[in-house]
Amino acid sequence: MSTIDQVALLSKVSVATVSRVINNAGNVSPQTKERVLAAIEKLKYQPNAMGSLLRKEHTGMILIMLHSVDNPFFSPIVQGIEYFAQSNAMNVLICTTYGDKKREQHYLDLLKTHFVDGILLITNTLTLDEINTLNSQYPLIQVVEYLQGSDASYFSIDFYEATTKMIESLIEQGHKHIAFVHAGLVDIISTKMKYQAYCDVLAKHKLKPYFTDQKEHTFGYGSGRDITQQLLKKYPKITAFFATSDLMACGILDELNEEGFSVPKDKAILGFDNTIFSTIVKPNLTSVDVNGFQLGYQSLEYLHKRIFDKRFKDKVQVFLPYTIHQRESS
């Protein structure tokens, strides 16, 4: 592998001159530039891109931090981020933490050491003080999940309003025994708002809530089945299930089918996130589309302004529009 010193030797110039030609900086005569480029071509020299980036004020690298890539819910969000990045000469680094504090801190060091220009937090375990401190020092944006009362901007949807509409629709159809099914993270805003809306709507109509201890189950299809089995065993009169994700809803559907129930004739199901799961199962799931692509795109658009415009300090708290897709399961 050739080096910059070899390029300088072959073209009979200094290493500094070769560097200026590579970075298109400084005064270099056309004849010298042509000689250096010819040497680069002959030696097949490939400049160290990272070294070049780190010598600049910005690296053009953006960090996305999320829990995992197991859930297709994240796919359109990341696609929106990458679309904006590719259109604006930026690169994206996706880091998964699986809720591990040490992994999270390791990735945050990339921000603190200026390896990346900014960070998009989709899921994290940071405290309010940690979020506020990071936001005061580095370009940061919260995406989907956010901490209430934090100084950091966020782009999300109104989970409370969307869930309220979903539960009200079940009650309008005559359902009085509606279960809440969730597994996985319980302290994130999406879960808390969904659960609060569920409880508030039932209380408004003087109906009883049905749910299991959310902390007992890990996120996934299997938990959807297990929770449904437990709920029906304890509360056989349940006629509708509200799941906080489509993957959980798929587990509910298969468990109901195995126990001999027909959906939606005997039991109704509502999902959330409008992932591919909602349309590949039969019957198709009623679900909420969270506008993931735009969430990702607009979040990075905001972060881009914070990175490249030092005067831009605006704090934004944005709820993007969502869409409820009414399908066969309810």
Domains in the chain, please, with CATH? 4-47 (1.10.260.40), 61-157+292-322 (3.40.50.2300), 159-289 (3.40.50.2300)
Strand-pairing partners, residue 121, are 65, 142
Low-confidence ranges of the chain (pLDDT < 50): none
276 token code pair: 């591919």
* CA distances, 307 to each of 54, 65, 146 (Å): 15, 17, 20
The DSSP bridge pattern shows strands 240-243 and 154-156 to be unpaired
The string of pLDDT tens digits covering residues 219-254 is: 889 999 999 999 999 999 999 999 999 999 999 999
Strand-pairing partners, residue 61, are 91
Half-sphere exposure of 190 (CA within 13 A, CB side): 23
pLDDT value, residue 57: 63
The pTM (predicted TM-score) of the whole model is: 0.83
The string of pLDDT tens digits covering residues 86-143 is: 999 899 999 998 888 899 999 999 888 888 999 999 988 899 999 999 999 999 999 9
pLDDT value, residue 256: 97
| Helices 75-87 and 292-308, packing angle to 10 deg | 40
How crowded is residue 8: how many other Cβ atoms within 10 Å of its Cβ? 18
pLDDT value, residue 56: 57
pLDDT value, residue 235: 96
Comparing CA positions, the residue from 239, 217, 235 lying closest to residue 227 is: 217
b/e for 209-218, b at 16 or more Cβ within 10 A?
Answer: ebbbebeebe
